[in-house]
Amino acid sequence: MSEFYSKIRKVLNLQTIQKLIIFLFFLGILVWGNLVLLPNLFSGKFTSGYHGSLINREAVQFSLYDDLHSKIELLDFKGNYIFLFFGYPGCAGICPPALSKLQDVKRLVHRNDVKIVFINLDVNSERNHRKIENESSDFLYLHSEDSKTIQNLLKAYFGYADFSYLYNGNQEYPIIQHSGFFYLINPKGNLQLLYTDRKTGAKEIVDDLQKIILEENG
């Protein structure tokens, strides 16, 4: 065995071996992070018992418009629990079941300080007033006619979307591929929980909300 190591040392000097060890160490961390850490983070396993992933940092502010073109800011909701969702009218995939789930959440909590805010990804001024399937009067629909505002806001909330339709003005009914994440913002204005798993049901989301309320009042 010692002869084997002697031959290795002849080929590789000590400095090269050290660099190789450091490289393998960081490679192992990278592999572990991609295979273990990130999946667990977004599945909610590192969230102290929550079904959503714990973020607990200041929510990114926004200034958008409602159906009456009145300016609405996130600060206007301070003191309330906000469930935030990004979607668009005409969405036939993610939005209908997501909004139905949020409707169930609102029905289960029976609290006036729980608000559901829907941010429209479609910036077309003629389309952004169209109603969404499973629309509820409990939802507040917000929009902007500035594409960069919406794109930057979505990225700030860890979401993604294919906005290529924006450059095709002839497309009357766009199809926007987008993430279906839920966000829970607490009364202090902090983004507390992120839901990325569509299998998480309304009852589980309400359980998280009730746990947060108990912790804040405890």
Least confident range of 8-12, 61-65, 67-71, 138-142: 8-12
Mean pLDDT, rounded, of the chain = 79
State the pLDDT confidence band at 75, using cuts at 50, 70 and 90: very high
Beta strands in the chain (DSSP E): 53-58, 63-65, 71-73, 81-87, 114-120, 139-142, 182-185, 190-195
The answer to whether position 205 is within a domain reads yes
Do 78 and 30 lie in a common domain? no
Determine, yes or no, domain membership for 169: yes
The residues facing 122 across adjacent strands are: none
pLDDT at 151: 92
Q: Give yes or no: residues 90 and 198 share one domain.
A: yes
**Would the pLDDT of 93 be above 60?**
yes
For residue 38, pLDDT over 70 is answered with no
Distance CA 66, CA 91 (A): 19
pLDDT at residue 6, as a whole number: 59
Cα diameter, the chain: 83
Lowest-confidence segment of 17-21, 49-53, 77-81 by average pLDDT = 17-21
pLDDT of residue 35: 45
pTM: 0.73
Q: 127 and 187: one domain?
A: yes
121 and 203 both lie in a single domain: yes
pLDDT value of position 142: 92
Which residue reads 């309304």 in tokens? 202
Indicate the pLDDT class of residue 48, thresholds 50, 70 and 90: low
Question: What's the CATH number where 82 sits?
Answer: 3.40.30.10
Domain that holds residue 26: 2-43
User: Is 196 domain-assigned?
Assistant: yes
Is pLDDT at 46 greater than 90 in this prediction? no
Predicted local confidence at residue 191, as pLDDT? 95
Q: Tell me the per-residue pLDDT of 117-175, one tens digit each, with 9 for 90 and over.
A: 999 998 875 665 555 544 556 789 899 989 899 999 999 999 999 887 765 555 566 78
Distances (CA, A) of 211 to 49, 67, 194, 195, 198: 9, 33, 15, 16, 20
